Amino acid sequence: MSNYKDLAKVVLKEHEQVLMAVDENEVEKLLDAIAEAKCIQVFGMGRMKCAVRAFVMRLMHMGFDAHVVYDTTCPNIGPGDLLIVNAACTTVGYTVMQFANKLGAKIVAITANPNSKAAKLCDFTVNLKGQVHGGRDYEIPSIQPMAALFEQTIFVFEDIIIQLLMKKLNITSEQMAKRHTNLDGYMDFNVEDE
């Protein structure tokens, strides 16, 4: 399959399958955990970290104390705090989860495998069934290589979570925009002079 539009249709169908398979009860648990947390820290590696950074940025725009694990400004973690782990499929992620568990933080993994040893460290999981390893019966298979489907879909999933949080907490896009950095000129760039 080498035709762009044919590939695009298949990839979009894969995303739809993964997103529509998410349990809404798990989504509600995630929304409540975020809303109740004193500090939110999010972990992911490689391409998963792209989604982590985007998610943390939006949480910050909403006024949450949110951080990317291992960034230089990431504070300590403890009781009342929340660790969200994207995928929970690496040895490093497992170690981070062990530390957070020992330190008393609540842990949630957004994972394709809710029965993994990493998932057993969690207070709860959100099952996002996109292919990570391939050939596993708990994953929705993909024509894309490696974990591409999961990596792409978690980005969209976490943006949907942001929209649900906005509704739940009555936060507007305008309020969020006021917390956007003003050192990049985003709000002024390409605006015609009056």
Length of the chain: 194
Confidence of residue 185 (pLDDT cuts 50, 70, 90): confident
How far, in whole angstroms, is CA 45 from its chain's centroid?
12
Confidence of residue 187 (pLDDT cuts 50, 70, 90): low
21-170: which CATH number, 3.40.30.10, 3.90.1170.50, 3.40.50.10490, 1.10.1040.10?
3.40.50.10490
Task: Spell out the alpha helix ranges (H) of the chain.
Answer: 4-20, 24-36, 48-61, 91-102, 148-169, 173-177
DSSP reduced 3-state for 83:
strand
Structural domain boundaries in the chain: 21-170
The catalytic residues are 151
Q: Are 74 and 53 in contact (CB under 8 A)?
A: no
C-alpha dist (Å) from residue 14 to 17, 64, 153: 5, 32, 9
Query: What are the pLDDT digits (tens) for 115-126?
Result: 999 999 999 999
Query: What are the pLDDT digits (tens) for 135-171?
Result: 899 999 999 999 999 999 999 999 999 999 999 999 9
Distance, CA of 87 to CA of 119 (rounded, Å): 10
> Which pTM was predicted?
0.92
Q: Beta partners for 85?
A: 43, 109
Confidence of residue 192 (pLDDT cuts 50, 70, 90): low
Q: Is the pLDDT of residue 191 over 80?
A: no
Rg (CA), the chain: 18
